[in-house]
């Protein structure tokens, strides 16, 4: 959907609404770990780019606080539209405009999630305006790279943890991986584990506790009475995004 919309929208100015729509397309709705979609972030906790294992993260960058995002985005959008090829007498090379726009947007990091994908959509929007016809080269490359990254992460997971899994645990992990990069909606639960492995509740609880002890799964926050887990998948080494309060 995002690829199609970027191609359709290349001739229109950038707006807050358009960016919010792109972000909603880039970030699927999640029932148990809600992410603000279609609007700029409003969480007061720091938005940081980090790398490294949990508990030993290295902070590479901290974005402007949420209270400054609307003003920063208004300034960015005004600049972007002012120097569009159809309005500006001063012709800025398309590659230069795309690079500046992408960097500026990522520095603001205005959304809870999906900033990378939306940033590349902006780059494609810029290049399309410069070329005079629609292109989605950046987004297409991004999607292909994510698929490759997922395969590499899956391979690395089995290299690290494959020998630690019993038959039931291996069956559950395989089922999670079939769901793709985001895994199960709502995470892994005892009930889901029972359904997949056809084992009794006590065995499911014991297997899940064993996986937690080994660091193969981690509990998700906000689960209420039902504990939910996700796989400890180590993506290829590129900095990622975290909230300061979750560290």
- What is the per-residue pLDDT for 21? 96
Residue list, annotated binding site for ATP: 113-120
Q: Tell me the pLDDT band of 14, cut-offs 50, 70 and 90.
A: very high
What's the CATH code, domain 2-141+239-246?
Answer: 1.10.3290.10
| Higher pLDDT pick, 150 / 148 | 150
Distances (CA, A) of 146 to 127, 150, 230, 235: 22, 6, 19, 10
Torsion of CA 236, 239, 242, 247, to 10 degrees: 90
Residue ranges matching CATH 1.10.10.10 in the chain: 150-231
Residue list, annotated binding site: 113-120
Percent of the chain at pLDDT above 90?
43
- What is the per-residue pLDDT for 140? 61
* Cβ atoms < 10 Å from Cβ of 189: 19
Residues ≥6 apart with Cβ < 8 Å to 163: none
Three-state DSSP at 51 gives: strand
| Higher pLDDT pick, 118 / 241 | 118
- Beta strand segments in the chain, E: 47-51, 58-62, 217-219, 229-231, 240-243
**Please, what is the average pLDDT of the chain?**
83
- What is the per-residue pLDDT for 75? 98
pLDDT, tens digit, 9 for 90 and up, residues 83-108? 888 776 667 888 899 999 999 999 99
- What is the per-residue pLDDT for 54? 65
Q: Tell me the CATH number of domain 150-231, given options 3.40.50.2300, 1.10.10.60, 1.10.10.10, 3.40.50.1820.
A: 1.10.10.10
Residue 198 falls in which region: left (phi positive, over 0), alpha (psi -120 to 50) or beta: left
When computed from its CA atoms, the radius of gyration of the chain, rounded to whole angstroms, is 21
Q: Tell me the pLDDT band of 139, cut-offs 50, 70 and 90.
A: low
Percent of the chain at pLDDT above 70?
80
CA 178 to chain centre: 18
Q: Are 134 and 7 in contact (CB under 8 A)?
A: yes
pLDDT, tens digit, 9 for 90 and up, residues 166-176? 999 999 999 88
- What is the per-residue pLDDT for 243? 45
Q: Quick check: 15 pLDDT over 60? A: yes
| Mean pLDDT, range 125-134, rounded to an integer | 89
Residues identified as active-site: 109
Three-state DSSP at 216 gives: coil
Give the global pTM: 0.60
Three-state DSSP at 41 gives: coil
Residue ranges matching CATH 1.10.3290.10 in the chain: 2-141+239-246
Three-state DSSP at 53 gives: coil
Q: Are 188 and 172 in contact (CB under 8 A)?
A: yes
- What is the per-residue pLDDT for 242? 45
**Cα four-point dihedral sign 76, 82, 85, 90:** negative
């Amino acid at each position: 959907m995002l690829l199609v919309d970027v191609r359709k929208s290349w001739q229109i100015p950038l707006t807050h609404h358009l960016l919010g729509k792109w972000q909603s397309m880039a970030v699927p709705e999640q029932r148990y770990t809600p992410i603000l979609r279609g609007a700029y972030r409003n969480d007061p906790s720091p938005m940081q780019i980090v790398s490294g294992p949990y508990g030993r993260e290295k902070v590479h960058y901290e974005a402007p606080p949420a209270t400054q995002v609307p003003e920063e985005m208004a300034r960015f959008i005004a600049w972007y539209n002012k120097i569009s090829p159809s309005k500006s007498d001063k012709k800025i090379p398309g590659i230069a405009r795309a690079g500046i726009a992408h960097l500026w947007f990522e520095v603001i990091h205005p959304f809870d999630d999906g900033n990378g994908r939306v940033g590349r959509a902006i780059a494609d929007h810029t290049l399309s305006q410069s070329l005079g016809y629609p292109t989605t080269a950046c987004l297409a490359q991004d999607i292909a790279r994510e698929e490759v990254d997922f395969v590499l992460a899956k391979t690395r997971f089995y290299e690290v943890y494959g020998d630690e899994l019993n038959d039931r645990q291996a069956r559950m992990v395989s089922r999670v991986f079939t769901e793709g990069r985001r895994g199960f909606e709502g995470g892994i639960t005892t009930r889901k584990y029972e359904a997949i492995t056809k084992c009794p509740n006590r065995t499911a609880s014991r297997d899940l506790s064993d996986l937690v002890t080994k660091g193969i799964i981690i509990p998700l926050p906000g689960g209420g009475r039902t504990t939910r887990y996700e796989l400890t998948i180590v993506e290829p080494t590129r900095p990622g995004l975290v909230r300061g309060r979750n560290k």
